[in-house]
Chains A and B, each alone.
Chain A
Amino acid sequence: MPLDNLDKTQQGIEVIKDTPVSNIEDTQTVEELSKEINLKIDQDISLLKNQDKKIGQIENSKEFDQDDIIASKVNLNIGESLNQINNEAENLVQETKDKIKDEIEKPEVEKNVEKVENNVSVEGEDKKLEKDKNFEFNQRKEQWRVSARERFGIEDFDIAQFKRIVFDEDAISKAWAEGKRWDYINSGEHSKKFIKGESFDQGTKSFEVMQDLENEIPGCVKKLHEKFGITNFQRYPKEMLVNQLNDIDQQKGMGVLAFAESDYNGAFDNQQKIWGKIYNHKKDKLNFRIIECGSDFELINQILKAKEDSGKKVSFGVISAHSNEDGFSLGGTGNESDYFGKEKIDQLNSEIEESFTENGQLIGNACSSGVIKGWVQKISKIARIDAVGPDEPAAIYDVDFVNDKVIPKYHDNDIYSGYKNGFLLSKKRK
């Protein structure tokens, strides 16, 4: 059917109508109103996305020559323009929903504060603590706003604006278009809660470290993100982050601390001292590089890049990720590329072998990674290195040193297995 015979909706050229808000029924409560408006927002974004179908109809139409279609798409930059509009709309939806949520929460917090101040003795201790927490939470949120206003001149602070300032907007748009990462400040469950205003702990810490880093070296946050994939700045010692931006000392070996981007319970947020201790012990002999990876490709790519940049294979490595004996998780999207399991280790056999120095050391900061026939043993065998990991769900809480080797201590029972070239070398029981 010729395109002009379709009605405007079918043609995809019908635009969203800017209907006045007075048409919205004045519902009983603020909550009901916000619910209704959130539904309307979802309908609007759905209508906007529906317009994309028109492009598909034109592409599949026999009215036009396929070569012309391709040429026009390229000349008019159709794909990228559509992506830009959709990304802008997604941001707008998130910002608007956040603002509505803030409006609903405001009166509750004020009420809570009043009650805490005036009626403390009547309230139970638990309830008082809960209300103090609410108050503190909103104070912290306010601090973000003040900081954003003073530092970046943003009057009405929101996270989307922050991202646009600190990071490269194009890179973020691209990642969103690929559906790869939902945000660049934090990852997984924490970030979602953070953006919704439900969990400020990780985000605030990350923001503070970013600010400190920026004060010290303007532009370094962006560099650390682009070069090494760092998004969770709160996890790492600042000195190490700053140092890895310097030129590599070709006389030294290479040490890589690889972290999964995703961390659903904040397990990697309190280990800075451990990395600092290792760094201080080995920095005269090793260049250190912290990398953060959301997929199998990023991990291998970053490790190979470390090798390429330093001209040396990795002689010391740590993998920090949520894990079981068969493999570990990197991103928070649930895609196949998030997971690095034994099968993938087999597929990437030669890349892994090429990455490590013979007799190097790998530490699993990952649950159950040290179990016999687990992934740590497999890497030890393939790369011909010493490798160690806990035999149960546990992370590192401290380290010792024996000569050049790092001996990790694991929560809570410190049960682990160590391998040399794949052979069981040591086993520690409680």
Chain B
Amino acid sequence: MNDKGKIKDIYSEFKTKITELSKKKSELIKSFKKDLEQKKIEKIRKSF
């Protein structure tokens, strides 16, 4: 493989890993929001 190919491979590996991290972060944010929405719904139910 030539040098350009190797560099592209390095980036490809990076891209896969950074995408995974980004997904992790997105999941975290979604869980946070979901948890808050759940709490909100519980409060509304209790108020009935």
Interface of A with B (CB < 8 Å)? Answer: 3, 11-21, 24, 26, 30, 33-34, 37, 40-41, 44-45, 47-48, 51-52, 54-55, 58, 63-65, 68-69, 71-73, 75-76, 78, 81-82, 85, 88-89, 92-93, 96, 99-100, 103-104, 106-107
Contacts and interface: CB of A to CB of B under 8 A. Distances in A.
B20 to A, nearest CB: 9
B39 A64 contact: yes
Interface of B: 3-4, 6-19, 21-26, 28-33, 35-37, 39-40, 43
Nearest to A95: B14
Contacts of A76: 28, 31-32, 35
Contacts of A99: 10
A318 B40 CA distance: 60
23 contacts: A15-B23, A16-B15, A16-B19, A18-B15, A18-B16, A18-B19, A19-B15, A21-B11, A24-B8, A26-B4, A37-B10, A47-B22, A48-B22, A51-B22, A51-B26, A58-B32, A65-B43, A71-B39, A72-B35, A76-B35, A78-B32, A92-B21, A100-B10
A34 B6 CA distance: 11
B28 A68 contact: no
Contacts of A69: 36
B3 A96 contact: no
Contacts of B32: 55, 58, 72-73, 76, 78
Interface of B is mostly: helix
Contacts of B39: 64-65, 68, 71-72
Given A51-B29, A68-B40, A76-B28, A103 B15 contact: no
A272 to B, nearest CB: 39
Task: For the complex of A and B, list the 6 residue pairs with the smallest distance between their C-beta atoms, beginning with the closest.
Answer: A16-B22, A18-B19, A96-B14, A15-B22, A68-B39, A72-B35
Task: Decide if the interface of chain A is mainly helix, strand, loop or mixed.
Answer: helix
Contacts of A65: 39-40, 43
Contacts of A48: 18, 21-22, 25
Contacts of B13: 96
A44 B17 CA distance: 11
Given A58-B33, A63-B40, A82-B28, A34 B22 contact: no
A144 B33 CA distance: 46
B21 A89 contact: yes
Central interface residue in B12, B17, B36, by most chain A CB within 10 Å: B36
B36 A40 contact: no
Given A65-B39, A76-B35, A103 B11 contact: no
Given A3-B33, A63-B40, A92-B21, 11 more contacts: A15-B23, A17-B19, A24-B11, A54-B29, A64-B37, A76-B31, A82-B28, A92-B14, A93-B14, A100-B7, A103-B10
B29 A13 contact: yes
A26 B4 CA distance: 9
A40 to B, nearest CB: 7
Contacts of A21: 8-9, 11-12, 15
A104 B2 CA distance: 11
Contact of A34 (B7, B17, B29): B7
